[in-house]
């Protein structure tokens, strides 16, 4: 297993111990793009700097990821991933993922917390990504 190097990337997708995709972007967009690009694969490992519930739900929906390594995960993400049997290794677990100014819960986390139906959740996240500026943190 390759140890995460979040000085080189914010997200990396690994297959057979090799990085097949990486990004320096923030929010959900890099994860969304990776899951879309490598759709159909399985048994992958994900290094993602921040893991909120929205990211966890997207990972589960993809069926691609067996294991996630992160610096910080939200408690809802940790609980969800345990229920899905996706291994999560987090340096720190926090109540929720916050915006960069630490004043509010990130929009993606809010959608994930308030939308239990999987298809509705997916549509709302897609709509948010389609309309959001690319630099907005959307965990």
Q: How far is CA 83 from CA 9, 15, 23, 66, 137, in A?
A: 28, 23, 28, 13, 26
pLDDT tens, residue by residue, 27-38 = 999 999 999 999
The residues spanned by each domain of the chain are 11-131
Percentage of the chain modeled with pLDDT above 90: 88
Query: What CATH topology corresponds to 11-131?
Result: Cytidine Deaminase; domain 2 (3.40.140)
- DSSP 8-state code for residue 49: S
Give the pLDDT score at 136: 44
pLDDT tens, residue by residue, 88-113 = 999 999 999 999 899 999 999 999 99
pLDDT tens, residue by residue, 52-99 = 999 999 999 999 999 999 999 999 999 999 999 999 999 999 999 999
The burial of 3, by beta-carbon neighbours within 10 Å (0-12 exposed, 13-18 middle, 19 or more buried), is given as: exposed
Give the pLDDT score at 1: 61
Is the pLDDT at 135 greater than 60? The verdict is no
The closest alpha carbon to 5, from 60, 61, 63, 47, belongs to: 47
The reported pTM is: 0.91
């Amino acid at each position: 297993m390759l140890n995460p190097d979040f000085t080189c990337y914010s997200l990396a997708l690994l297959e057979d111990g090799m990085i097949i995709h990486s990004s320096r972007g923030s929010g959900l967009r890099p994860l969304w793009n990776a899951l879309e690009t490598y759709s159909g694969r399985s048994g992958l490992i994900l290094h993602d700097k921040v893991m909120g519930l929205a990211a966890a739900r997207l990972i589960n929906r993809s069926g691609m990821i067996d294991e996630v390594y992160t610096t910080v995960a939200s408690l809802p993400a940790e609980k969800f991933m345990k229920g899905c049997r996706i291994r999560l290794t987090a340096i720190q677990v926090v109540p929720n993922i916050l915006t960069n100014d630490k004043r509010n819960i990130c929009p993606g986390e809010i959608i994930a917390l308030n939308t239990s139906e999987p298809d509705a959740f997916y549509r709302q996240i897609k709509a948010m990504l389609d309309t959001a500026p690319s630099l907005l943190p959307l965990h």
